[in-house]
Structure formats: C-alpha cells, structure tokens
Amino acid sequence: MTVGWSTPLSAGEGLIGVAVAPTRLSHEFIVKTDEFALNVPHIDLLSRVWYCGTTSGRDADKWETAPLTPAEATMIASPLVNECLAWLECAVINRVSVGDHTLFIAEVLHAQVEEAAFDETWRPSEEAGRTLHHLGANLFTAPEPRLYRA
C-alpha cells in the first residue's frame, strides 16, 4: 500500500500509527493479517509511488505494473518493496476508528535500512537516495542532502 498518513507514536516502545480508509484494499489486508510493512521510498520512486497510491490492487498487480520487486520480510508474511531505502515490519496491537479512517497502531517488530542512507540518523544524500515525503494531494518533497544540528 501507499500510505500518506503515518507517524511514530512512541520512541521507547517502537510504536507507529497508520491511518487507512476502510474502503481501501490495504485496510482489508491489514484487518485480515494484523500486520503491514512500511517501506520508505526515495525520490527516484516518485512516479511508482504515485501510481501505487492511485491504482487499486483490485484493478492491477502493482508488482508487475509499477514495476516493483517484492522482497521477503524477516518477521511478517507481508512482502517488502526491494527498491526502497528502509523497511519497518509491523504487527497491529490496536485499531481506533477516527473520522473516516482507521488508525492502526502497531509495534515495529523489525527494521532494516540501506547502510548508505543511515548512520545513527538519516543521511540524506543524492548517492544514498533522498527519502520521499507526501505533503497531500499530488505534492511530495524530499530533504536536501544536508543535515542541521541544534
């Protein structure tokens, strides 16, 4: 799935939240399996991310039509997206209906990252790939390849 609304919920406990509309196929899959993978894309995947977010899995095999490569996860049955920069394997521990979405609260069971993209914190760079962030509608951004420290 392509999710626009995700957020960390607890640094100490490794909890994350994703909001998904009940009309989405991804919602059905998460309810059935109580798990999901968050794949962190880089800016070069923008057109594929947009395609996956605007095309239902009911209508197309996005692995083939995007195209993307599935990779085996360590702790969950859901596949990971090989082309991404980082992967969070999550198990749902709670669900809350909020507005017209369900907030799935999940524990991060396993996290992986491309070594070039992370060194104690994210390292945005052209070589490692800059993380893609959804701003709403068809707007996205990626951090500049520079870190600022307070």
Q: pLDDT category, 82, cuts 50, 70, 90?
A: very high
**Stretch 61-79: mean pLDDT, rounded?**
97
**Stretch 74-102: mean pLDDT, rounded?**
97
pLDDT at position 146: 78
90-134 residue pLDDT tens: 999 999 999 999 999 999 999 999 888 877 777 777 777 789 999
Which tops the pLDDT comparison, 4 or 1? 4
Residue 70 pLDDT greater than 90, yes or no: yes
6-32 residue pLDDT tens: 999 998 889 999 999 999 999 999 999
Integer Cα distance of 33 and 116 in angstroms: 32
pLDDT at position 21: 96
25-44 residue pLDDT tens: 999 999 999 999 999 999 99
CATH of 6-141, one of 2.60.40.3950, 3.40.50.300, 2.30.110.10, 3.40.309.10: 2.30.110.10
